[in-house]
Amino acid sequence: MNLPPMARCWISIGTNQDRERCIRGAVQALRERFGQLILSSVYESEAVGFDGWPFFNLVAGFDSNEPVSVLLTALRSIEAGFGRVRGLHRFAPRTLDLDLLTYGDFAGTVASHKLPRDEILYHAFVLGPLAEVAGQEFHPSVGRRYGELWRDLEKTTPPLRPVVFEL
């Protein structure tokens, strides 16, 4: 049986509840599930879309040949293990948010999941960490490097606050 080629997957990680424990636990769970990770720095940013405690955010990358549906199921399982409850409100406090941002160069919808994720282009807490670790990679839909996109967005958004954090 031939496996599909390996795809570089980028995951955004965010939490605004029990932030240190959830970030460390998420990284450990991702390592156990997917192996070696590429990790950005951890950044603090204000809650978006609701009043709440600031978030810790970072981006993790790994290579996989698993189908997107399997990756999404694994991410939801890790979230649930940290008490994440998905409710009616998209913008709400959360223990852990793991979003599949990209799957290689794929652009489109698979398993009801749009890739690449739209928020790459407009949320500093996603694009900043992604540009840090994948600045020379191209966004599959817009054809520009993440570093270029970040330089444009960075001019119009409040700065991200780097957090000293051992992972």
For residue 64, what pLDDT is reported? Answer: 97
Q: What is the residue extent of each domain of the chain? A: 7-116
CB neighbourhood size of 155 (10 A):
7
CB neighbourhood size of 115 (10 A):
22
Helix (H) or strand (E) holding 146, with range, is helix 146-154
The alpha carbon torsion through 13, 48, 128, 121 (nearest 10 deg) reads: 100
For residue 46, what pLDDT is reported? Answer: 84
Over 50: is that where the pLDDT of 1 sits? no
For residue 124, what pLDDT is reported? Answer: 96
In this prediction the pTM is 0.91
- pLDDT digits 0-9 by tens, 76-133: 999 989 886 665 555 556 689 999 999 999 999 998 999 999 999 999 999 999 999 9
Over 80: is that where the pLDDT of 3 sits? no
Average pLDDT over residues 142-156: 96
Helix (H) or strand (E) holding 11, with range, is strand 7-15
CATH superfamily of the 7-116 domain: 7,8-Dihydro-6-hydroxymethylpterin-pyrophosphokinase HPPK (3.30.70.560)
For residue 161, what pLDDT is reported? Answer: 94
What is d(CA 94, CA 107) in angstroms, rounded to the nearest whole number? 28
- pLDDT digits 0-9 by tens, 18-77: 999 999 999 999 999 999 999 999 999 987 766 678 999 999 999 999 999 999 999 999
